[in-house]
Structure 1
Amino acid sequence: MIFKVTYQQSKATNPKREDTRSLYIEAESDVDARALVEKNTPYNIEFVQPLDSAHLAYEQKNPDFALTEFN
Protein backbone atom coordinates (compact mmCIF):
# COMPACT_ATOMS: atom_id res chain seq x y z
CA MET A 1 0.00 0.00 0.00
CA ILE A 2 1.11 3.56 -0.67
CA PHE A 3 1.20 6.05 2.21
CA LYS A 4 1.50 9.82 2.21
CA VAL A 5 3.75 11.00 5.04
CA THR A 6 3.61 14.67 6.00
CA TYR A 7 6.57 15.97 7.95
CA GLN A 8 8.75 18.85 9.06
CA GLN A 9 12.39 18.66 8.02
CA SER A 10 13.69 19.21 11.54
CA LYS A 11 12.66 18.00 14.97
CA ALA A 12 14.38 21.02 16.51
CA THR A 13 11.93 23.66 15.29
CA ASN A 14 8.25 24.20 15.96
CA PRO A 15 5.98 22.82 13.22
CA LYS A 16 4.55 25.40 10.82
CA ARG A 17 1.95 24.56 8.22
CA GLU A 18 3.88 26.56 5.62
CA ASP A 19 6.93 24.32 6.14
CA THR A 20 5.08 20.99 5.99
CA ARG A 21 6.35 18.69 3.26
CA SER A 22 5.22 15.29 2.10
CA LEU A 23 6.66 12.09 0.72
CA TYR A 24 5.10 8.91 -0.58
CA ILE A 25 6.24 5.50 0.54
CA GLU A 26 5.20 1.91 -0.06
CA ALA A 27 4.82 -0.19 3.09
CA GLU A 28 2.71 -2.96 4.59
CA SER A 29 1.09 -0.70 7.22
CA ASP A 30 1.15 2.84 8.55
CA VAL A 31 3.32 1.62 11.44
CA ASP A 32 5.87 0.21 8.98
CA ALA A 33 5.81 3.41 6.92
CA ARG A 34 6.45 5.53 10.03
CA ALA A 35 9.27 3.22 11.14
CA LEU A 36 10.97 3.40 7.72
CA VAL A 37 10.90 7.20 7.66
CA GLU A 38 12.05 7.51 11.28
CA LYS A 39 14.93 5.09 10.71
CA ASN A 40 16.20 6.77 7.54
CA THR A 41 15.57 10.50 8.08
CA PRO A 42 15.79 13.20 10.75
CA TYR A 43 12.21 14.31 9.94
CA ASN A 44 9.51 15.20 12.45
CA ILE A 45 6.59 13.13 11.17
CA GLU A 46 3.21 14.79 11.50
CA PHE A 47 0.85 12.31 9.85
CA VAL A 48 0.88 9.01 7.94
CA GLN A 49 -2.11 8.58 5.64
CA PRO A 50 -2.98 5.50 3.56
CA LEU A 51 -3.97 6.37 0.00
CA ASP A 52 -6.91 4.57 -1.57
CA SER A 53 -6.97 4.18 -5.35
CA ALA A 54 -8.86 7.43 -6.05
CA HIS A 55 -6.65 9.51 -3.76
CA LEU A 56 -3.50 7.89 -5.18
CA ALA A 57 -4.64 8.67 -8.74
CA TYR A 58 -5.16 12.31 -7.71
CA GLU A 59 -1.72 12.55 -6.06
CA GLN A 60 -0.04 10.97 -9.11
CA LYS A 61 -1.26 13.86 -11.28
CA ASN A 62 1.16 16.14 -9.41
CA PRO A 63 4.42 16.39 -11.40
CA ASP A 64 6.40 16.19 -8.15
CA PHE A 65 4.90 12.80 -7.22
CA ALA A 66 7.57 10.14 -6.63
CA LEU A 67 7.78 7.10 -4.38
CA THR A 68 10.56 7.37 -1.83
CA GLU A 69 12.72 4.29 -1.43
CA PHE A 70 15.28 3.74 1.29
CA ASN A 71 18.22 1.38 0.90
Structure 2
Amino acid sequence: MQEALQRSTRWWQAREVKRIFPDHQTVVIFNDWRSRFNIGRKRILDTMLAATVTIQGVPKPARGQSPRNLSCTD
Protein backbone atom coordinates (compact mmCIF):
# COMPACT_ATOMS: atom_id res chain seq x y z
CA MET A 1 0.00 0.00 0.00
CA GLN A 2 2.84 2.37 0.80
CA GLU A 3 4.27 1.91 -2.70
CA ALA A 4 0.89 2.71 -4.24
CA LEU A 5 0.62 5.89 -2.17
CA GLN A 6 4.12 6.98 -3.20
CA ARG A 7 3.33 6.35 -6.87
CA SER A 8 0.09 8.31 -6.58
CA THR A 9 1.93 11.23 -4.97
CA ARG A 10 4.58 11.23 -7.72
CA TRP A 11 1.90 11.39 -10.42
CA TRP A 12 -0.01 14.12 -8.57
CA GLN A 13 3.11 16.28 -8.31
CA ALA A 14 4.51 15.62 -11.80
CA ARG A 15 4.82 18.73 -13.98
CA GLU A 16 3.65 16.98 -17.12
CA VAL A 17 0.36 15.91 -15.53
CA LYS A 18 -2.67 18.13 -16.03
CA ARG A 19 -5.04 17.66 -13.11
CA ILE A 20 -8.72 17.42 -13.95
CA PHE A 21 -11.72 17.49 -11.66
CA PRO A 22 -15.41 16.62 -11.95
CA ASP A 23 -17.72 19.54 -12.65
CA HIS A 24 -21.50 19.95 -12.91
CA GLN A 25 -21.69 18.39 -16.39
CA THR A 26 -19.59 15.44 -15.21
CA VAL A 27 -22.10 14.69 -12.45
CA VAL A 28 -25.01 14.96 -14.91
CA ILE A 29 -23.37 12.42 -17.25
CA PHE A 30 -22.32 10.22 -14.33
CA ASN A 31 -25.91 10.03 -13.04
CA ASP A 32 -27.22 9.37 -16.55
CA TRP A 33 -24.77 6.49 -17.08
CA ARG A 34 -25.53 5.01 -13.66
CA SER A 35 -29.22 4.93 -14.51
CA ARG A 36 -28.91 3.90 -18.14
CA PHE A 37 -26.34 1.15 -17.64
CA ASN A 38 -27.47 0.04 -14.16
CA ILE A 39 -24.01 0.62 -12.69
CA GLY A 40 -23.66 -0.65 -9.16
CA ARG A 41 -21.47 0.30 -6.24
CA LYS A 42 -18.43 -1.68 -7.40
CA ARG A 43 -18.07 0.41 -10.59
CA ILE A 44 -19.11 3.79 -9.21
CA LEU A 45 -15.61 5.31 -9.04
CA ASP A 46 -14.72 3.95 -12.48
CA THR A 47 -17.88 5.55 -13.86
CA MET A 48 -17.10 8.93 -12.27
CA LEU A 49 -13.55 8.75 -13.68
CA ALA A 50 -14.88 7.88 -17.15
CA ALA A 51 -17.36 10.78 -17.00
CA THR A 52 -14.63 13.17 -15.84
CA VAL A 53 -12.15 12.29 -18.59
CA THR A 54 -14.92 12.39 -21.19
CA ILE A 55 -16.16 15.86 -20.18
CA GLN A 56 -12.61 17.22 -19.80
CA GLY A 57 -11.77 16.06 -23.34
CA VAL A 58 -9.01 13.60 -22.51
CA PRO A 59 -8.17 11.69 -25.74
CA LYS A 60 -8.93 7.98 -25.58
CA PRO A 61 -5.31 6.75 -25.97
CA ALA A 62 -4.30 8.90 -22.99
CA ARG A 63 -6.95 7.29 -20.83
CA GLY A 64 -4.99 4.06 -20.63
CA GLN A 65 -8.16 2.01 -20.33
CA SER A 66 -9.48 -0.89 -22.31
CA PRO A 67 -12.20 0.29 -24.74
CA ARG A 68 -14.40 -2.43 -23.25
CA ASN A 69 -14.23 -0.68 -19.85
CA LEU A 70 -15.34 2.65 -21.29
CA SER A 71 -17.73 1.37 -23.93
CA CYS A 72 -20.67 3.27 -22.46
CA THR A 73 -18.93 6.55 -23.41
CA ASP A 74 -18.91 5.84 -27.15
**Normalised TM-score (structure 1):** 0.31
More strand by share: 1
More helix by share: 2
Structure whose CA Rg is larger: 2
Higher RCO structure, 1 or 2 (CA under 8 Å, sep 6+): 1
